[in-house]
Structure 1
């Protein structure tokens, strides 16, 4: 996007998510749920936006789709290519790029997917317009997002209270977890959306283990911990507050992270 006022902020995000690879492993069941929910069929042209390490892209490829996948962070795409080689799906096309400026012609794909990816693009109207643009007539969109009232949505709100404010014009990612907001954003470009829900169970030996894992894999969490490292009392307060919030979701050595699935057809 020429003269993008958020270009510098996006570069920061690009670097921030390079440590996400270990967390991606735990999203494998969600990827399977999303691909099944989207009704991916053999031979369909599928785009995975915000592919990360490629878990959705490769799940769709196993279903017989012809898959293209895009992510902003090159380190994640290195792992995605390694995963593709192991899985025997080296025909997946991997692209480093911006969800707000998809480098594909109009009406290219039968399905556009995103698992917790497009929701981090700062301008919802822009990313929706781009995903709609690259869809064929009657093509489908399907994505997974984090509802704001559950663990991960609450975590991002918590992080937001300790982080610098978002740049002007950027929307908080958990807004993508509101069905009413999703319906409004898809607007006249899509049929009324259909929703489903699920829960991602992340194994943890204790809440401090869970918190430490997030500090090692979730870029925004890492930045806050690094910023507070010089003030141990504030860092301890941050960690204590986070662990108290996470305790509501810790059952049987798992942290339950509820997610929302959305599906709609292009008009």
Structure 2
């Protein structure tokens, strides 16, 4: 069974985007292609995909959409569970890595470049719609939430994993904020998706049986400096922040110190960090 791309129907987000939005999405696509995000997905958070697949009880034959799928941390486990899966992302290079990983794992699914705020599918196409630390980075939260709901059939399931503002990744973004370029008008901070009340407000009365639970994923680093250097090398948002201050050595040194200290403060005596996330599941009304 193949799910073919079609122009979206009944979607406000499907209207022609303005030039500023096109430019913003191009910047996002480029940012996530910098460094080596596949290493982050593979080495640090590979377990998160199976968590949401299990929470949603994905079954053989179900039509599943993974939004902002990256390299397929959730899409591949869903396909291995027998679902008919489409993985979408704004960054084509991540989808290319995911396609190769799926082939190596014996998983069969579709990979499509798409904007989370204007998904190219008709309404009510999927039984299950999910995203793992992905859709939270789309700049306009309500637009992407509307799309998650729109493409899910009535009675279908929606599942999200998002970093919390209070957790380690939320703290990392807070540490980088003073050094980063100002966000464009209308863009909202990604960690807001890690607040239950924010997600409930975004999804509104269009969903029922909402469940929200804070959990953690264990991540290992040798030191705070090792964490900092790994993210400077692999993680698009961190790379972009350093590029923004590259001409100011004092700011670079200050950000170096801030990230290393953050890493040190989170490490226990065994070299582990616990990164907090919010797992949300809901049923389309």
Which TM-score band (shorter chain)?
Answer: over 0.9
Which residue of 81, 93, 101 maps to 2:99?
81
Q: 1:245 & 1:102 partners in 2: Cα distance?
A: 36
Asked if 1:46 is matched to 2:61, the reply is: no
Q: What's the counterpart of residue 2 of structure 1?
A: 16
**Which blocks of at least 5 consecutive residues in structure 2 are unaligned?**
1-14
Are 1:21 and 1:53, in contact at CA under 8 Å, matched by a contact in 2? yes
Give secondary structure in 2 for the equivalent of 1:28.
coil
Residue 125 of structure 1 and its aligned partner are, at CA, apart by 1.3
What is the root-mean-square deviation in Å for CA atoms of aligned residues?
1.3
Match of 2:226 among 202, 209, 232: 209
Write the mapping of 1:5-84 to structure 2, written as runs, cut at 5 A. 5-18=20-33, 19=35, 20-25=37-42, 26-84=44-102
Structure 1 distance, partners of 2:229, 2:201, is: 37
Shift of residue 170, structure 1, vs aligned partner: 1.2
Instruction: Kindly state the Cα deviation for residue 192 of structure 1 after the two structures are TM-superposed.
Output: 4.8
| Counterpart in the other structure of 1:101 | 118
CA distance in structure 2 between the aligned counterparts of 1:227 and 1:163, rounded to whole angstroms: 6
| Residues 1:223 and 2:240 are matched in the alignment | yes
Q: 1: CA distance between counterparts of 2:180 and 2:246?
A: 14
Matched, 1:155 2:172: yes
4+ long deviations beyond 6 Å: none
Moved more, 112-121 or 152-161: 152-161
Offset, 1:228: 3.0
Deviations 1:212-233 (A, max 9, x none): 0011111121122233333323
Structure 1 counterpart SS, 2:158: strand
Q: What are the Cα deviations for residues 183-209 of structure 1, in whole angstroms up to 9, with x where unaligned?
A: 111101111520123222222111101
Query: Structure 1 length normalisation: TM-score?
Result: 0.95
Q: How many residues align?
A: 266
In 1, the alpha carbon distance for the partners of 2:220 and 2:179 equals: 26
Aligned-partner Cα distance in 2 for 1:165–1:234: 16
Task: Tell me whether 1:261 sits opposite 2:275 in the alignment.
Answer: no
For residue 208 of structure 2, give the secondary structure of its aligned residue in structure 1: coil
SS at match of 1:193: strand
Structure 2 partner of 1:239: 256
**Residue 165 and residue 192 in structure 1: after superposition, are their counterparts in 2 closer, same or farther (change >3 A)?**
farther
Alpha-carbon shift at residue 164 of structure 1 (Å): 1.6
SS in 2 for 1:195: strand
Whole-angstrom CA distance in 2 between matches of 1:101 and 1:256? 34
Give, in angstroms, the shift of residue 265 of structure 1: 0.5
| Mapped pair 1:177 → 2:194 | yes
Q: TM-score, normalized by length of structure 2?
A: 0.90
Equivalent-residue separation in structure 1 for 2:72 and 2:172 (angstroms): 24
CA distance in 2 between counterparts of 1:101 and 1:173 reads: 18
Structure 1: stretches of 5+ with no match in the other structure: none
C-alpha contact 1:192 1:264 (8 A) present in aligned 2 = yes
Instruction: Please tell me whether residue 248 in structure 1 is matched to residue 262 in structure 2.
Output: no
